[in-house]
Chains A and B, each alone.
Chain A
């Protein structure tokens, strides 16, 4: 049985170690689940098999003591005193249990036998560990069955309720919409990344229900789903910031993307952004606009560095009218800047197994600590009236390494002796 257990521990190990390089998804394969099931079954069977023995040990009566306990005692474990029997017994009891009264006592032929047990619960530490492992496995299974894992990519200003499920990549609709208000990436002077942050809002039925920022290590929860900052990138479309001058007054800054339209005031005109370029014909950033009115439509480029271009090429606007940012009179457009537009990649997770895994982990840890650092120590002290005085004999049993428990018995003897001579 034990060999089987050790072998069972080895099996999932060997199957996990060499495979990860080439068998990418082994941990979701049927073989792996079967191995885990076998491993769990083994753990259960081994634990149940040993449980009756442990319960017997736990309930073991302390009287009479195990046979041979008081035979071959080292010399220092026997104390002779000329004090009265009652005084000696009182001393023994006080030394055994300084604080709590957990000393058992029974009558023997020529005196009394005292017993003190400590750390009896530690016998069950191993079951706590095994149960912890099983709870973790159960949590992992629950997570893989009822859990949910998906991804979403949103450009700044974009919103969506459609996410891609992990693994299959199929689309799935959420019952609320996520909007990326802003994505921020900051770098240290060394060039290493410092911060990735997505400012999100969650919208349901047209209402903003919740706003918040997602950072690496700081996920955000909404509606039972947790959102993680997973990745980011620069989207193909850049964002341009335009202004126009109208009768000597500058308009506000208008952020635009390719394909977007905006209305021009005081005119029954509509502008469409045809192209946004970061660097066209080595002339720097530029935007191509089309402006339509009821009567006509014009197309032209708005360059960011139009002044420089015009200075270098005198008579440019008459030669190439599409380069004139004032082609749609009386407005004169100017391009403030063109910026890369980031998109953020969010991971969306729901895992109902987590409370189990956490509980299992804590049980495991407590169990291990109990096994290692608490031992079941049993001490018997036999006080008898002999012709030449009162004889006190000390003996003990422990389920862990003997050296420490022997030392404790020595300490106890010294304590009793000191008490008697005081």
Chain B
């Protein structure tokens, strides 16, 4: 079985997991949640296995490198980071509702990787600019950061969902008892942003160390660099607003959603602009 096929199955399993999480959200039965978690874990393990397979295959072909070298591989890895981070958080907070907002993001990314035109899913040898030990560190830290921001985004969406439900059916107690409390969501958003912020800082720093060796300048005001800085600053504002101004709740959720839009633009939107970063 080849890794591209497994990725296709994984995409389908993520979709299934998303649907099951939705059932859990709407029908409120815990059994749907178990099924959803089971599907998500299965998908994630298949995903991991298939990443390994791809990695191994690149060595078999004699061009060995970690599968982090082009847009396709980065999308696959992004989805994987989201899933592993989400599933770890799910275990910790012991609540499965968030999956309905995070897992679809992973599914969409996987689907985009396989169907979007102009995305080369082949294993390619590394061009000279990418032949560096910093490749893995840089890509790894950046995407762990992006994944954490995705979870914060899902938390933000759930926060709004829950507060709308609260306003509508404040008398109906059964409606919301399976949802995490707003305070808990607020903390979840904050902690995810915190993790993402550290990883993105590491990603930017490892990136500039690499740029120092590859391009002769640690900072070139390349669109990708600028947008990663903007993203980082948006989350810095979020954290400052929390620490200094004491912002909580809806405003946090709003900033987490804005920040995620910036993440997406940094990752995909910038590619339409002329950039030194044109490998990904």
A residues lining the B interface (CB < 8 Å): 2, 5-6, 9-10, 13, 16-17, 20-21, 27, 126, 140, 149, 188, 190, 192-196, 215-219, 226, 228-230, 347, 349, 351, 354, 357-358, 361, 364-365, 368-369, 372, 401, 403
9 further A-B pairs in the complex, CB-CB below 8 A; given A193-B127, A358-B209, A401-B191 = A190-B124, A195-B128, A216-B128, A217-B128, A217-B214, A229-B128, A351-B217, A354-B218, A365-B205
A264 to chain B, nearest CB (A): 42
State the CA gap A144–B214 with chains docked (Å). 19
State the CA gap A217–B209 with chains docked (Å). 11
A17 to chain B, nearest CB (A): 6
- Among A140, A192, A215, point to the contact of B125 (Cβ < 8 A): A192
State the CA gap A47–B187 with chains docked (Å). 26
- Report if A16-B226 is in contact (Cβ < 8 Å); known contacts: A9-B236, A188-B125, A217-B131: yes
Residues of A within 8 A of B214 (CB): 216-217, 228
- Report if A6-B223 is in contact (Cβ < 8 Å); known contacts: A194-B128, A216-B128, A354-B212: no
State the CA gap A196–B131 with chains docked (Å). 11
Contact A401 B187 (CB under 8 A): yes
Interface size class of B (residues with CB under 8 A): 35 or more
Contact B205 A17 (CB under 8 A): no
Contact A357 B218 (CB under 8 A): yes
Contact B201 A365 (CB under 8 A): yes
Contact with A along B53-65 (1 / 0, CB 8 A): 0000000000100
Chain B residue nearest to A10 in the complex (CB): B237
State the CA gap A357–B209 with chains docked (Å). 10
B residues lining the A interface (CB < 8 Å): 63, 124-125, 127-129, 131-132, 187, 190-191, 194, 197-198, 201-202, 205, 208-209, 212-219, 221, 223, 226-227, 229-230, 233, 236-237, 240-241, 243-245, 273
**Chain B interface, >50% SS class:** helix
What are 8 contact pairs spanning A and B, CB under 8 A?
A5-B240, A9-B240, A217-B129, A228-B214, A230-B216, A349-B217, A361-B205, A365-B205
Contact A21 B273 (CB under 8 A): yes
- Report if A17-B226 is in contact (Cβ < 8 Å); known contacts: A140-B219, A192-B127: yes
State the CA gap A216–B230 with chains docked (Å). 28
A137 to chain B, nearest CB (A): 11
B95 to chain A, nearest CB (A): 15
B157 to chain A, nearest CB (A): 22
State the CA gap A352–B171 with chains docked (Å). 66
Contact B132 A368 (CB under 8 A): no
- Report if A20-B237 is in contact (Cβ < 8 Å); known contacts: A217-B132, A228-B216, A365-B201: no
Residues of B within 8 A of A6 (CB): 237, 240-241
State the CA gap A26–B196 with chains docked (Å). 29
State the CA gap A219–B124 with chains docked (Å). 25
State the CA gap A10–B215 with chains docked (Å). 28
A129 to chain B, nearest CB (A): 9
B165 to chain A, nearest CB (A): 24
State the CA gap A138–B246 with chains docked (Å). 31
State the CA gap A146–B30 with chains docked (Å). 65
Residues of B within 8 A of A215 (CB): 128
- 6 smallest CB-CB distances across A and B, nearest first, come from A216-B128, A228-B216, A217-B132, A347-B216, A361-B205, A349-B216
Residues of B within 8 A of A401 (CB): 187, 190-191
B22 to chain A, nearest CB (A): 29
State the CA gap A16–B227 with chains docked (Å). 9
Residues of B within 8 A of A347 (CB): 216
Contact B216 A219 (CB under 8 A): yes
Contact A368 B197 (CB under 8 A): yes
Contact B230 A16 (CB under 8 A): yes
State the CA gap A206–B248 with chains docked (Å). 70
Chain A residue nearest to B223 in the complex (CB): A20
Residues of B within 8 A of A368 (CB): 197-198, 201
The residue among A10, A27, A368 with the most chain B CB atoms within 10 A of its own CB is A368
Chain A residue nearest to B243 in the complex (CB): A126
Chain B residue nearest to A133 in the complex (CB): B236
State the CA gap A195–B128 with chains docked (Å). 6
